[in-house]
Amino acid sequence: MDPEAKRSFEKIVLPHLDAAYNLARHLTSNPDDAADVLQEACFRAFRFFGGFRGGNARAWLLTIVHNTAYSWMARHRRMALHGSIKDAEIERPLEAFYAVPWERLPDDPETNLLLAESEEALAKIIDRLSPEYREVFVLREIEEFSYAQIAEVASVPIGTVMSRLARARRQVQKQWRRQAGPEGGAR
């Protein structure tokens, strides 16, 4: 490997290790598994770096993390990954998510204060989402990826990104209001 490529890998890819770990951690829900996934993903990234043609390095690395995490989970957990969301739900037209009336959102300052103290509770709520939902949620809300970028990382159509995101948000908000107690939830 020529020194140029070596340097640019260090410069281009390594800054995104935290984002990569964060995604691995959210996908696997476990720090040890996330460390394994990240190391394996990085090794793939070393190998594939020659194929990186510029563009968003974070999205490139996270795509590798996504693929590695799914293979890893299929290998180690024998888990019905795609079985965890019924196809009908994925295929449900997006409008279905929005056809219901507005979610009533907590809007009094007290509730927000309460929410601000429940970081741990929020982590638990996120953990309760299925990995597919958690992934789009994390990519959107933490990494601030566009729908198109998320679609690429998760290799699903944009419509699926939008419906997963809508469902994930709905679930998180519902749980969060429940946590916030009747004052926050009753309005």
By CB under 8 A, name the binding residues for another protein: 1-2, 6, 9-10, 14, 17-18, 20-22, 25-26, 31, 34-36, 38-40, 42-44, 46-48, 50-51, 67, 70-71, 73-75, 78, 80-82, 94-95, 98-102, 105-107, 112, 115-116, 118-119, 122-123, 126, 138, 140-142, 146-147, 155, 165-166, 169, 172-173, 176
Minimum distance from CB of 183 to another protein (Å)? 16
Minimum distance from CB of 152 to another protein (Å)? 12
Nearer residue to another protein within complex by CB, 71 or 130: 71
Alpha helices in the chain (DSSP H): 3-12, 17-28, 31-48, 57-77, 87-91, 94-99, 109-116, 119-128, 131-141, 147-154, 158-180, 182-185
Rama region for 76: left / alpha / beta (φ>0; ψ in -120 to 50; rest): alpha
Which candidate, 62, 48, 49, 73, places its Cα nearest to that of 20? Answer: 62
Minimum distance from CB of 112 to another protein (Å)? 6
Nearer residue to another protein within complex by CB, 95 or 182: 95
CA-to-CA separations, 132 to 26, 70, 104, 167, in angstroms, rounded: 10, 10, 25, 11
Minimum distance from CB of 37 to another protein (Å)? 8
Minimum distance from CB of 109 to another protein (Å)? 10
Chain CA centroid to CA 6, Å: 29
Nearer residue to another protein within complex by CB, 56 or 71: 71
Hey, what are 130's tokens?
Answer: 């299925």
